[in-house]
Structures are given as C-alpha cells and as structure tokens.
Amino acid sequence: MASEVSDLRAVLFDMDGVLVVSNPLHFRAWQDFGRQIGLVVTEEMFYREFSGRKNEEALEALFPGRFDADQRAELSRRKEALFRERYVPLLLPVPGVRELVIDLRRRSVPLALATSGPPENVRAILRHLKLEGAFDVVVTGQDVTAAKPDPAIFRISAERLGVPCERTLVIEDSVAGVRAARAAGAVCLGVSTSEPPSRLEEAGAAHVVADFTGMKAETLEAIFRDARGREAPDGPMGTDAP
C-alpha cells in the first residue's frame, strides 16, 4: 500500500457481533447462568450494559455494591465457560466475514482482533470459524484495565502491529466500540448486527453495513479513504500524521 496519509495500513476487528452473530447467544447464556445463581438479566439490561463491555463492569453497573471485584470476576468466568460449552457450537459467522478476512490475508494487510472477551472465548470462536492464525495480533479484555469505550484496546492493537492508530480501520458493532475507535483516532466501520445503523452513525461510525457480503480489501480501503477525505484538516488525522 502507498504511504499516503489517506491509505489504510491495518484493519482491527472486534469479535462478538463482527466475526460471529453472538449477542443473542450471550444473552441466553446470561439468562441460563442467572437462573442458576438467582440473578435476573433482562434483554434490555443486556444490550444496555453488556454489549461491547467487560462483564465485570456491566455487573457493577447493573448491581452496584452487590458483588466485590473477586466475585464479579468469578461470575464472569463461570458464565463464559457456560457460553463456550453450550453456545459456541451454535454460532454463525457474520455473512461474508470469513471471505473478507481471507482476502485481507491474501493482500498481506496486517490484522488485529481486539475484543473485550476473554482469551478462552477467542480461541474457541476462531477454532469454530476455522480462522486460527488469521490475525497477526490478538488483544483481549485481559490486556487492558478499562474496557470500551476506553480506546486503549485499539491503541495497543495498533502499537503491536507497528502502525499508527490513525492509519487503521476498526470494525465494530457496538456503540461503546465505535466510540473507542474514534477516541483512538481510527476510522470506524459499523456493522449493524447489534445496534441500529443510526446509533452507530451517531457514535461516530464513518459507514455502516448490515454484513460483509461481497466486501473485499478494496472495499475497506475505499471506506477509509472516503472517511479521511471528508474530515476537516484539523480533524483526528491532523496534517502531520506519519
């Protein structure tokens, strides 16, 4: 790829809702687990607090003071173990995502997976999708102290790839994830598997798609260039970006 400021250098994928249609199954897992421990998580609560965030943060937001930090971590660990055992085999890829990842790999575009989920989920889902080894860098919730919308997860991903955040395209399905991407200085492509397109656009997504059907590396490059071209000179890129 050329060295122009408007050219894309790397692509950073979220996992849940981007690689796989997983939020409905995560919700079902929380319902199943909640029944075991006497915890009620409604659909509204799930999509408001859990989508794109660490479980521990969502639990504290929903049930302030009810659990200490160790208890929240243990509840999260047990719920995710249930999710992997019961629901990962049922996961479907977001249409077109495997083909897009394979095309990006063929074009030697550096790729990162940046997810609030735990490493065990990453391994299980990549194995399920037959995408093991597809990502040059994997950053999980264990690698950051603050979850999205904090931009740290994308900044770390870009740093490990050796590219400036401003030269990356982040693909996200959640409002928190879009806000994190924009705070990191990246261009964000929204995928409306979890939120209406309007909410992702309001959060800062440059473009929103329903899925990845027919998309290739050139599609992402065009989205990135268009977004940078629409920015004011004193926008996130600035005029002296590498």
The catalytic residue positions are 14
Looking at residue 53, its amino acid is R
Q: How far is CA 106 from CA 109, 111, 163, 227, in A?
A: 8, 11, 19, 24
How many whole angstroms separate alpha carbon 138 and alpha carbon 124?
Answer: 13
Q: At what angle do helices 69-86 and 55-62 cross, to 10 degrees?
A: 120
Give the DSSP letter of residue 93. Answer: B
Q: What is the rounded CA–CA span in Å between residue 75 and residue 159?
A: 32
Q: How many Cβ atoms sit within 10 Å of the Cβ of residue 160? A: 16
CB 166 within 8 A of CB 237: yes
Which of 83, 109, 103 minimizes the C-alpha distance to 30?
83
Q: Where are the alpha helices (DSSP H) in 17-174?
A: 23-37, 43-45, 55-62, 69-86, 97-106, 119-129, 152-161
State the residue for tokens 């002296």: 240
Residue 3 in contact with residue 217, Cβ under 8 Å?
no
